[in-house]
């Protein structure tokens, strides 16, 4: 006997094999019975359906239910079948009738104005969507209706007009899709992340969509909607393409190169995210917008030149492109969005062209290899965390129009050498240059209006080699004495450079020691605090590991509980002549 069902070999149970052989023998010899309810064309389908019911009955809880009409059919059929066929054949017929109801039970549907929409599918393998159910047309496939990794093929009837958002998202075994002429709308990401998908074909009579070489487009091919995940190699966009839709190439892990059309204006959100083998991209001058996460984790991209006409680079647009080494950004991208090049840890050289005004939050966060960056004179703001942990960044020239450096903007840039703060700069935020351990001297110009904030760490906190912070005497807000930073009235000690060593006497008249003012001063051996000090900020002396004894004359001083964290050799704290219990952590 020839077994036409390719899945027969997957059945290991002898009992199940016998049942499968039985139904195949029966269907292949049914003409001798003279009974017409099983058609010749059903042979192959019957074999597959029996295998499916066996799988479900043995691997999943049974959920087969019979409608009232089917129960009456069984009552009429059973005696006749017993008389005409063997008991075994009757069993097979009953299983088939149950199976027809079970297959209907694989779909959850909801009614809407006399039509049905599939909301969920429970089955596996080959899917045949019915065109009607209980007399109502099936016209829609709902959002996320087929999110399963077991579907290998799908038949979509011409009754279907709408396919919802993420309808087949993640159907990793699905290989080919044919869309009939009736399809009027397809939701975003409908066929996204289908790892085995090789081709999407659209009926040429469809007035809304089209396909070319297995790629799904809108009708006039101005937008690429979905590129099949399993298509490998290079791809050349048709010359009409102006838009790459959301997640159109997401996780196309075999795509190596793409050539854009000269008509391209928009690359939408996550359009090429996780294209792990994409090596080469050349953007046309027509490109205006690159969406959020557009090339996220394209970890084989090596060089990028973003054209001058481009006006927007989205949030996380090139995040974690770990092989990217060279970058040029055109000047019409006036605001680099936050985290746009976050984690590009092999990026070594960056050129930002004239016209760029702002570098967004965490834009170059953890670009560990970044050694050179060219800032445009148009730049006015470097936002929070922008170059955090760019540990190889050594020489920078801040532009002449820069007004603000944000919180931790250059923190942990451990290779950063002394640089000049331009006279345009008015605001240096807390921790802006913290732990830049190669800095030795900082010159604060007269124009700076804000250096950190009260109750916040100072801008140069923990710079272990910093020995001097010198303020221009004409600055109306700040002053310095022997390289120590104060407010203008010298009532607040803002920062003591962490690289200074030996002993230090705080000047009389100082009333407030700022948060983290002496943080990381590991070579500070002795500190003299005057009677005038009545407030000590949080972590003011943290990590001052050489301090052994602290004497605070003012018995009403506030804040000592959290001031001496990690002062590992501190023996005693005397406040107003009374020794206090040490509250700092060892």
* Beta-ladder partners of 127: 154
CA atoms of 191 and 201, how far apart (whole Å): 12
Last residue of a domain, one of 231, 249, 277: 231
The SS3 call for residue 322 is coil
Q: Are residues 111 and 170 in the same domain?
A: yes
Q: Are residues 146 and 61 in the same domain?
A: no
Which of these, 192, 183, 185, lies nearest to 249 by C-alpha position? 192
CATH of the domain at 125: 3.80.10
Per-residue pLDDT at 126:
86
* Beta-ladder partners of 185: 162
Residue 96 lies in a domain: yes
Q: What are phi and psi of 441, to 5 degrees?
A: -145, 135
Last residue of a domain, one of 231, 260, 286: 231
DSSP code per residue over 187-198: -TTTTTT-TT--
Residue 325 lies in a domain: no
Instruction: Count the Cβ atoms, other than its own, within 10 Å of residue 86.
Output: 12
Contact 269, 243 (CB under 8 A): no
Residue 446 lies in a domain: no
Per-residue pLDDT at 577:
78
Residue 101 domain boundaries: 6-105
**Beta strand pairing status for 349-352 and 372-374?**
parallel
In angstroms, the Cα distances linking 410 to 205, 389, 435, 552 are 58, 7, 9, 35
Three-state secondary structure string covering 392-426: CCCCCCCCCCCCEECCCCCCCCCCCCCCCCCCCCC
Q: Are residues 126 and 146 in the same domain?
A: yes
277 CB contacts (<8 Å, ≥6 apart)?
A: 253, 254, 255, 256, 300
Q: Are residues 213 and 119 in the same domain?
A: yes
Give, to the nearest 10 degrees, the angle between helix 68-84 and helix 87-105. Answer: 160
Domain count along the chain: 2
Q: Are residues 164 and 184 in the same domain?
A: yes
Give the containing element (helix H, strand E) for 27. helix 14-28
Could you tell me the two tokens for 333?
Answer: 């991208």
Per-residue pLDDT at 11:
40
Could you tell me the two tokens for 24?
Answer: 């195949």
Distance of CA 28 to the CA centre of its chain: 54
The SS3 call for residue 562 is helix
In angstroms, the Cα distances linking 79 to 94, 248, 310, 372, 538 are 12, 57, 77, 88, 90
Phi-psi domain of 20 (left: phi exceeds 0; alpha: psi -120 through 50; beta: other)? alpha
Residue 115 lies in a domain: yes
Three-state secondary structure string covering 48-84: HHHHHHHHHHHHCCCCCCCCHHHHHHHHHHHHHHHHH
Q: Are residues 94 and 115 in the same domain?
A: no
End-to-end Cα spacing for the chain: 82
Residue 448 lies in a domain: no
Residue 31 lies in a domain: yes
Which of these, 535, 489, 541, 496, lies nearest to 513 by C-alpha position? 535
Could you tell me the two tokens for 213?
Answer: 């070489």
Q: Are residues 138 and 226 in the same domain?
A: yes
Predicted TM-score (pTM) of this structure: 0.79
Q: What are phi and psi of 189, to 5 degrees?
A: 60, 25
Cα dihedral 435/436/437/442 (nearest 10): -120
The SS3 call for residue 25 is helix
Q: Per residue of the chain (586 residues), give pLDDT as tens.
A: 333 444 444 444 444 444 444 454 444 444 444 433 444 444 444 445 554 544 444 443 333 333 333 333 333 333 434 344 444 444 444 444 444 444 444 889 999 999 999 999 987 778 999 999 989 999 999 999 998 888 999 999 999 999 999 999 999 999 999 999 999 999 999 999 999 999 999 999 999 999 999 999 999 999 999 999 999 999 999 999 999 999 999 999 999 999 999 999 999 999 999 999 999 999 999 999 999 999 999 999 999 999 999 999 999 999 999 999 999 999 999 999 999 999 999 999 999 999 999 999 999 999 999 999 999 999 999 999 999 999 999 999 999 999 999 999 999 999 999 999 999 999 999 999 999 999 999 999 999 999 998 889 999 999 999 999 999 999 999 999 999 999 999 999 999 999 999 999 999 999 999 999 999 999 999 999 999 999 999 999 999 999 998 999 998 998 887 899 989 998 888 998 777 654 444 4
Residue 359 lies in a domain: no
Q: Are residues 150 and 68 in the same domain?
A: no
Which of these, 295, 301, 372, 284, lies nearest to 339 by C-alpha position? 295
Last residue of a domain, one of 70, 86, 105: 105
Cα dihedral 422/426/432/436 (nearest 10): 30
Q: Are residues 73 and 111 in the same domain?
A: no
**Beta strand pairing status for 572-575 and 549-552?**
parallel
CA atoms of 399 and 57, how far apart (whole Å): 72
CA atoms of 425 and 277, how far apart (whole Å): 43
């Amino acid at each position: 006997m020839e077994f036409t069902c390719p899945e027969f070999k997957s059945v290991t149970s002898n009992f199940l094999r016998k049942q499968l052989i039985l139904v195949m023998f029966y269907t292949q010899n049914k003409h001798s019975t003279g009974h017409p309810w099983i058609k010749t064309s059903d042979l192959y389908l019957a074999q597959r359906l029996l295998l499916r019911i066996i799988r479900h009955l043995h691997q999943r809880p049974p959920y087969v239910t019979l409608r009232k009409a089917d129960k009456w059919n069984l009552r009429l059929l059973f005696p006749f079948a017993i008389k005409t066929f063997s008991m075994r054949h009757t069993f097979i017929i009953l299983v088939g009738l149950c199976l027809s109801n079970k297959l209907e039970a694989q779909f959850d549907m909801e009614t809407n104005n006399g039509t049905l929409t599939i909301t969920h599918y429970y089955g596996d393998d080959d899917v045949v969507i019915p065109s009607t159910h209980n007399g109502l047309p099936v016209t829609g496939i709902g959002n996320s209706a087929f999110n399963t990794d077991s579907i290998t093929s799908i038949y979509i009837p011409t009754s279907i007009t709408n396919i919802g958002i993420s309808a087949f998202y993640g159907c990793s075994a699905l290989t080919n899709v044919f869309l009939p002429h009736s399809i009027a709308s397809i939701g975003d990401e409908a066929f996204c992340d289908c790892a085995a998908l090789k081709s999407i074909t659209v009926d040429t009579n469809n007035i809304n969509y089209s396909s070319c070489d297995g790629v799904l487009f809108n009708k006039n091919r101005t937008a690429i909607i979905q590129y099949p995940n399993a298509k490998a190699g290079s791809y050349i966009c048709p010359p009409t393409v102006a838009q790459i839709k959301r997640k159109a190439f997401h996780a196309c892990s075999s795509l190596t190169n793409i050539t854009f059309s000269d008509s391209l204006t928009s690359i939408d959100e996550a359009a090429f995210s996780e294209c792990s083998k994409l090596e080469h991209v050349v953007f046309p001058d027509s490109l205006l917008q690159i969406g959020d996460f557009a090339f996220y984790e394209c970890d084989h991209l090596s060089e990028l030149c973003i054209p001058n006409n481009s006006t927007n680079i989205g949030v996380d647009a090139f995040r974690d492109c770990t092989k990217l080494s060279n970058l040029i950004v055109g000047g019409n991208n006036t605001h680099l969005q936050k985290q746009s090049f976050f984690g590009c840890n092999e990026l070594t050289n960056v050129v930002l062209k004239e016209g760029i005004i702002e570098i967004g939050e965490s834009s170059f966060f953890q670009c560990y290899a970044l050694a050179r960056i060219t800032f445009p004179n148009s730049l006015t703001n470097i936002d929070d965390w922008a170059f955090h942990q760019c540990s190889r960044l050594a020489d920078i020239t801040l532009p002449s129009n820069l007004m603000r450096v944000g919180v931790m903007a250059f923190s942990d840039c451990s290779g950063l050498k002394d640089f000049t703060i331009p006279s345009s700069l008015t605001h240096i935020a807390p921790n802006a240059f913290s732990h830049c351990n190669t800095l030795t001297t900082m010159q604060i110009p007269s124009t700076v209006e804000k250096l950190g904030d009260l109750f916040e760490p100072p801008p140069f906190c923990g710079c272990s080699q910093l020995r001097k912070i010198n303020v221009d005497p004409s600055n109306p807000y700040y002053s310095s004495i022997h390289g120590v930073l104060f407010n203008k009235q010298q009532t607040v000690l803002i920062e003591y450079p962490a690289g200074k060593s030996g002993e230090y006497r705080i000047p009389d008249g100082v009333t407030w020691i700022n948060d983290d003012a002496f943080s990381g001063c590991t070579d500070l051996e002795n500190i003299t605090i005057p009677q005038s000090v009545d407030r000590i900020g949080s972590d003011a002396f943290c990590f001052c590991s050489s301090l052994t004894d602290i004497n605070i004359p003012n018995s009403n001083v506030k804040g000592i509980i959290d001031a001496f964290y990690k002062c590992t050799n501190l023996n005693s704290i005397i406040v107003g002549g009374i020794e206090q219990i040490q509250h700092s952590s060892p």
